[in-house]
Chain A
Amino acid sequence: MKPFTTLTAVAAPIDIASVDTDKIIPARFLRKLRTPTSGYEPYLFHDLRLDAEGKERPDFVLNQPAYRNAGILVAGPNFGCGSSREGAVYALMDSGVRAVIAPSFGDIHYANEIQNGMLPVTLAEDTCHALREQLRAKPGSQLSIDLPAQTVSDAQGTKYAFQIDEVYKDRLLKGLDEVGLVLQHLGAIEAFEQRHFNERPWLA
């Protein structure tokens, strides 16, 4: 997993509240294989981005020239609610989005972002709103995220502090894979299993 330390990138405002993972990637694309040469980027926000004929909708933010290369999204509350599909993260990552800033996230989607080395940043609702206004006023402007310092900086240099669980932060900074982290505790797991299944043999 690629470590996440700092990121300076064009940020795009996503004004919709409760962006569900069906919106991020419609279910019909989840059967697609994801390979190094064929990523999930064509499916990102597919039905918001494209009309029935497959033509780009000019009013959708990521179709506008200034936001095309956005590496950060600033969204409304409850981003990534709904389905557990990790395809939503694959579509974001493969499109070059490495961080989403929002007042709150769907629980499973939040974990899925962390698992893939993406950074979900939680900032207050009015801060997210102000950032979106700023990005709309100056399309194509950048935000900088500093994970070690736990700050987001806007184009004027104003800094906003954010909280993140220390364990998640450490894993993102080091790009650690969790299977390895779990198996460090194999001895404890085996001891647990012996006790657990001795007491409840029908569960083994």
Chain B
Amino acid sequence: MSTPRTMFEKIWEPHVIVREGDQVLLYVDRNFVHEGSFHAFGALAKEGLKVRRPRQTTAVADHYAPTLNRELGLAGVADSEARDMIELLEKNTAANGVEHFGLDHPRQGIVHVIGAELGLTQPGITITCGDSHTSTHGAVGAYAFGTGASQLKQILATQCIWQKRPKTLRIVVDGALRPGVSAKDVILAIIAKIGIGGATGHVIEYAGSAIRALSMDGRMTVCNMSIEAGARAGMIAPDDTTFEYLQGRPYSPKNGDWERALVWWRTLPTDDGAAFDREVRLEGSTLEPTITWGTIPEEAAPVSAPIPEPRAMSADKRAHAEQALSYMGLTAGMPITDIKIDRAFIGTCTNGRIEDLRAAAAVLKGRKVVVPAWVSPGSSQIKRDAEAEGLDRIFTDAGFEWRASSCSSCAAMNGDTVPAGMRCASSSNRNFEGRQGKGARTHLMSPAMVAAAAVTGRITDVRTLL
């Protein structure tokens, strides 16, 4: 019998073209680009190179896409520098024959949302994008990782990347999640446990009954934030949930190819007895809605807890926690539910999918927000689907602004900033200082928790509103 192998090994090994010391030349099946990829296209052109395999790269405008006035197309982009970025992507992709979902394309959306939605993201393949949240795509059982501009240029020019093989970390979450506890709470609890550098140099495979029970939307939320624990990638074994999700999508394999793909995909899950470099376990049934109180994603706690005392922390965590509380304007020991918020934001590649919007709408139905709040669906398709279900009405009746699809206030590159000193309940992925705008204070939480905070004006255990 052959040695049991992890899913990661089963994807990595067949994609190795050349070995050189500890590095391998790895083949990239699918690559994604967005407006921020202009440095890579610029360097490519400067060297007189073209995209070598244009059909394997897909482009979409997301980081700089405005969430208002989208019916006006490019003319509606008030910020001239942002408009230049969006136009530059169009020019660069046209010059290289790369398919591009521009600002007013019906398939426009956040790159890490449209990948799986279009069926471009598939099990067993290698996926890259010049964005750290590329780990999202691993939710279907792919090896997906972000790169900087120089490596993106190399991928565009060669369809390959030099890489050192990462170590493997299996995170097992068993047990049933309780009502009101979501995929976001699972990943925030994992990051709080292992730390922001806890998975550096590793690829994470998420396993266990709580992970298996998640929908594709939930699995993408979990894998999305792998990078927030430092991991190169996150992945979840493909199963019937994955196959049902992918079947019939525009770029999914069709007919005989679908059957051939299925046979292959069913061989991908980790073999019994395969060895991981590390393993971490969590009990899903004990998890609570979880929020961040600090300025790195590991500075998170269950909603029922008080804000932790830095004095009680190890020396390496204490200094950061003290600085974080000072930036956030919070006091150790205060109940998390005493934190008042000024803004509420739902969307992003972490939590902008249909299930996220449904969970928030379930809380908002019949209630009114008490702070400015907006929602930016993860893709234009999700926006249309939500409107067909009447979710947009629930949001707008509650006082949320129903906006167009964009990365929006996650990194606030499109101008959707949170003002300095203001506190935002956010379904995004990073609570770094200034992430949502200079001086802005971010609390990460699930979309349902954002909705709960929006209607009460303070961090609220969503379970009291269900």
A27 to B309, CA, bound (A): 31
Contact status B150-A112, CB under 8 Å: yes
Contact status B159-A189, CB under 8 Å: yes
Contact status A22-B150, CB under 8 Å: no
Q: Is A146 an interface residue (CB 8 A)?
A: no
Question: 1/0 contact trace for B80-93 toward A, CB 8 Å?
Answer: 01101100000000
Please tell me the size bucket of the interface on A: 35 or more
A176 to B212, CA, bound (A): 45
Residue of B nearest to A83 (CB): B132
Q: Is B253 an interface residue (CB 8 A)?
A: yes
Contact status A47-B232, CB under 8 Å: no
**Given known A-B contacts A26-B434, A107-B232, A188-B17, A167 and B148 have beta carbons under 8 A apart:** no
What B residues does A204 contact at CB under 8 A? 55-56
Among candidates A15, A22, A52, A200, residue contacting B420 with C-beta atoms closer than 8 Å = A52
Contact status A83-B316, CB under 8 Å: no
Among candidates A31, A86, A179, A196, residue contacting B85 with C-beta atoms closer than 8 Å = A31
Question: 1/0 contact trace for B57-93 toward A, CB 8 Å?
Answer: 0000000100000000000000001101100000000
Q: Is B47 an interface residue (CB 8 A)?
A: yes
Q: Is B355 an interface residue (CB 8 A)?
A: no
What A residues does B55 contact at CB under 8 A? 204
**Given known A-B contacts A104-B200, A188-B17, A200-B261, A47 and B230 have beta carbons under 8 A apart:** no
Which chain B residues have a beta carbon within 8 Å of chain A's beta carbons?
14, 17-18, 20-23, 25, 27, 29-30, 36, 39, 47, 49, 55-56, 64, 81-82, 84-85, 122, 125, 130-132, 146-151, 153-154, 157-160, 162, 164, 196-197, 200-201, 227, 230-232, 253-254, 257, 260-261, 264, 296, 316, 319-320, 323, 411-413, 420, 430, 432-435, 438-439
23 A-B residue pairings within 8 Å (CB atoms): A17-B320, A20-B430, A20-B432, A22-B435, A23-B433, A27-B412, A28-B413, A30-B413, A31-B84, A78-B200, A82-B432, A107-B232, A109-B148, A115-B148, A115-B150, A116-B150, A166-B21, A166-B22, A167-B21, A189-B17, A196-B27, A200-B260, A202-B253
Interface contacts beyond A47-B433, A84-B147: sample of 18 additional A-B pairs, CB < 8 Å, sorted by A: A16-B323, A17-B319, A18-B196, A23-B434, A47-B434, A81-B197, A82-B430, A86-B150, A109-B148, A112-B151, A115-B151, A125-B316, A167-B21, A167-B23, A181-B162, A183-B158, A185-B17, A203-B30
